[in-house]
Structure 1
Amino acid sequence: MITLGVDTSTEFLTVSVISGNKVLSDYNAIGRLSHSALLVPTIQKALRKARKKLKDVDLFAVGMGPGSFTGLRIGVTAMRAFSIALNKPIIGVPTLDAIAYNALELYSGHRSLHNGGLTPIPILDAKKSQVYACIYRIDGDRLVRNSDYLLEPVERLMKRLEGDVLFLGDGIAIYKDKLMAEKTIKAKFIEDNRWFPKASVIAKLGLEMFKSGKRDDPYDLEPLYLYARDCNVMGRPRPS
């Protein structure tokens, strides 16, 4: 099964094509050009490297945020359009889940992570002195979510935490000093090349969700944007 994974929720544009769980191509871009200018050419490059065409894609998996509303809209709108045009399924994958998987990948087999001794928490800058975050635990080779997807000041987030915590995400660049100063936790920080989601993980998680029976409606699929009252993405009109 060919899955195209895309995430545009952060400054890091990521696109991947997988066959089953095998990565055929993986492209990442960060730079001066906007995601709107880069997305389609990057998808084309990823498909060429995988020796596939868009019509060969069986499943579209897209990062749903939370994150930049403008960025989210670009990726979700494009993937929704592909799904509708080709009559292929689409799955929305929470971006925080994909970022948290960077910890699982890096610490695979590491006892402190797998026995509950180290809690992975992605934090993304949400502006307005707040972060997007979620609290996870590792159960074997699975990532288990232990909280809702959060939008709150980092001070409130810290009140939820104790013990050894592994932080991931671009919120580290802003809040690292505050996190290190918090006495109720022992903060650890993953390197900055693992702060962002990978489209290959988006694709694999989307495929797992699809196999478990999840289906999203491309006409109604909306980003996970926690500033809900400020922004809204209108679904595409259904054909009459």
Structure 2
Amino acid sequence: MLLLAVDTATPAVTAALHDGSSVVAESSRVDARRHGELLLPAVDRVLAEAGVKLDAVTGLVVGVGPGPYTGLRVGLVTATTLGSALGVPVYGLCTLDGLAYASGLDEPFVVATDARRKEVYWARYDSSRKRVGEPAVDRPADIAEQVAGLPTVGAGALLYPDTFPDARAPEHVSAGALAALAAEKLAAGETEFFQNQGGLPPKPLYLRRPDAQVPKNYKVVTPK
């Protein structure tokens, strides 16, 4: 098994290789404006560090969000394109689940990332491997009662300390954590995880409409 994982759902542009036992190479850079520019070089770096060619990869793992429209699509398009070219499966995982898994927490907690517009993408967890309910997008003040007293993982805790006073690491998602979570599930024979129990198809999890919209009632001008 050699999994190539990528995630661009947050400001972290991250790629990693996992050999089924451990992460063998990882590259991450935080830059909210350069996902498209940084991702493929990150993939090249982890392949070079591991000393393998791209055709050695047996599967791809991609964070499907939730995240902003533009950045999120970079990782998804890259993963699905590489998967198609290599003829290997592409596994989608919730980016928040990757953050939760990396936390290692064994108690109830929250994962919250920056959704912009003074909102957060968030979800509750019973442990680092068990999400409670579906991810959502809300203003922090509107969910204060639901998350009161719980530790919070992710950049959202640092942006809104009044709602999330107990901030825990990590701040940003790691492709290594996504790959490790996928490898753990696959090694246990839990392929159904990627069908209906937390794994997702490699399609974006937006939770809201993109900013760019087709204007309503616009006038169509045609030549006479």
TM-score per shorter chain, which class? 0.7 to 0.9
- Map residues 1-240 of structure 1 onto 2, 5 A cutoff: 1-31=1-31, 34-104=34-104, 107=105, 114=106, 116=107, 119-138=108-127, 143-162=129-148, 164-176=149-161, 178-179=162-163, 187-191=165-169, 194-210=170-186, 211-214=189-192, 215=194, 221-228=202-209
Q: How far, CA to CA, are the matches of 1:228 and 1:209 in structure 2?
A: 31
Write out the 4+ residue segments of structure 1 that deviate beyond 4 Å after TM superposition: 228-232
Report if the CA contact (8 A) 1:100-1:168 is conserved: yes
- Superimposed CA distance per residue, residues 79-129 of structure 1 (whole angstroms, 9 cap, x where no aligned partner): 10011111100100100011112321xx5xxxxxx3x4xx32111121223
Q: How far, CA to CA, are the matches of 1:62 and 1:88 in structure 2?
A: 13
Identity of aligned residues (%): 27
Q: How far, CA to CA, are the matches of 2:182 and 2:208 in structure 1?
A: 24
Q: How far, CA to CA, are the matches of 1:200 and 1:96 in structure 2?
A: 14
Q: How far, CA to CA, are the matches of 2:65 and 2:212 in structure 1?
A: 13
Report if the CA contact (8 A) 1:16-1:26 is conserved: yes
Write the letter of the residue equivalent to 1:179.
Answer: T
Over the residues paired in the alignment, what is the CA RMSD in angstroms? 2.3
Write the letter of the residue equivalent to 1:134.
Answer: A
Structure 1, 52-61 or 147-156: larger mean CA deviation: 147-156
Question: Post-superposition shift, 1:48?
Answer: 0.9
Q: How far, CA to CA, are the matches of 1:33 and 1:133 in structure 2?
A: 22
- Point out where structure 1 has 5 or more consecutive residues left out of the alignment: 108-113, 181-186, 233-240
TM-score, structure 2 as length reference: 0.83
Report if the CA contact (8 A) 1:59-1:207 is conserved: no
Q: How far, CA to CA, are the matches of 2:132 and 2:144 in structure 1?
A: 15
Figure out how many residues of one structure are paired with residues of the other and give that number.
205
Report if the CA contact (8 A) 2:8-2:74 is conserved: yes
- Point out where structure 2 has 5 or more consecutive residues left out of the alignment: 196-200, 214-224
Question: Post-superposition shift, 1:174?
Answer: 2.5
- Measured at CA, do residues 50 and 93 of structure 1 come closer, stay the same or move farther in structure 2, by a change above 3 Å? same
Report if the CA contact (8 A) 1:35-1:71 is conserved: yes
